[in-house]
Chains A and B, each alone.
Chain A
């Protein structure tokens, strides 16, 4: 067989085969990654927390636990820590202990059903009041007001923070709920939040949702939240 001078680059069949291959592989990859994402998004259960299994989206019963935001040098970003942290001395990897509880509106024994119902009501309120018209939640929404993904961990709402002091409440959840019911009364920012007619029950549910959302592992998103002074490793 003699070697005829040929150009593969001008051959239609070469491009057709390449295009078929790339499209096929990409389609299969997208399907596999979709199933992977579905696994990642699976909400954890109360048993997971009892068995100290970390899930990206924890069970609603996390509202019974203390939530911290800690830099994980192993993963290279901040991670939410539920109920106290343990540090692996070899890798520096931090993980949740699921032990230390924290009262949420006076209780730390919210059952899975109660917590789920409360968070569901919070979600419906957030949708009904169109929070996303101004705020972002988990990256979705508008850029007029602060991102709420880690709002629960904002040091401004802690016992030493100015926002809790402003409302005169004794706990973070009560301060947030008080603010949400009458946001127009408190001078927070030039862009003041309007009064949306949120009832005390709705405010409680929204705060539960915010606490739950702060415990979702978002791979360190939003990136600039960790730069707020006192937001990360609040308890040294």
Chain B
């Protein structure tokens, strides 16, 4: 499942880049997941009247 490196000069980014979409998906996940946490955190604060 995991290829060690698909790029000619190996780096952290080339390891994430397992296929044409993977790097994009990983980076978007990195951005979207904390936003879900921000959403619920804000909801909690609004409900408790902060």
Q: Which residues of A contact B (CB under 8 A)?
A: 1, 3-4, 6, 8, 11, 13-14, 17-18, 21-22, 25-26, 29, 32-33, 36, 39-40, 54-56, 74-75, 79, 217
A-B contact pairs, 17 of them (CB 8 A): A3-B47, A4-B46, A6-B43, A8-B43, A11-B46, A17-B42, A18-B38, A21-B34, A21-B35, A21-B38, A22-B31, A22-B35, A25-B30, A36-B11, A36-B13, A39-B9, A55-B8
Chain A residue with Cβ nearest B11 = A36
| Contacting pair B9 A40 (CB below 8 A) | yes
Instruction: Identify the interface centre among A6, A13, A32, A54: most chain B CB within 10 Å of its CB.
Output: A6
The binding surface of chain A is classed by DSSP as helix
Choose from A3, A21, A39 the contact partner of B31 (Cβ within 8 Å): A21
- The yes or no answer to B1 lying at the interface (CB within 8 A) is no
The CA of A11 and the CA of B30, in the complex, are separated in Å by 23
Closest chain B residue to A25, Cβ basis: B31
- Report A24 CB to chain B, min CB distance, Å: 10
B42 touches A55 (CB 8 A): no
The main secondary structure of chain B at its interface with chain A is helix
Interface centre among B6, B9, B31, B47 (most CB of A within 10 A): B9
Q: In residues 17-36 of chain B, which contact A (Cβ within 8 Å)?
A: 27, 30-31, 34-35
The residues of A that contact B2 with a CB separation of less than 8 Å are none
Query: Do the beta carbons of A1 and B48 come within 8 Å of each other?
Result: yes
Contact of A1 among B8, B11, B12, B47 (CB under 8 A): B47
The chain A residue with its CB closest to the CB of B43 is A8
Query: Once the chains are docked, how many angstroms separate the CA of A11 from the CA of B40?
Result: 12
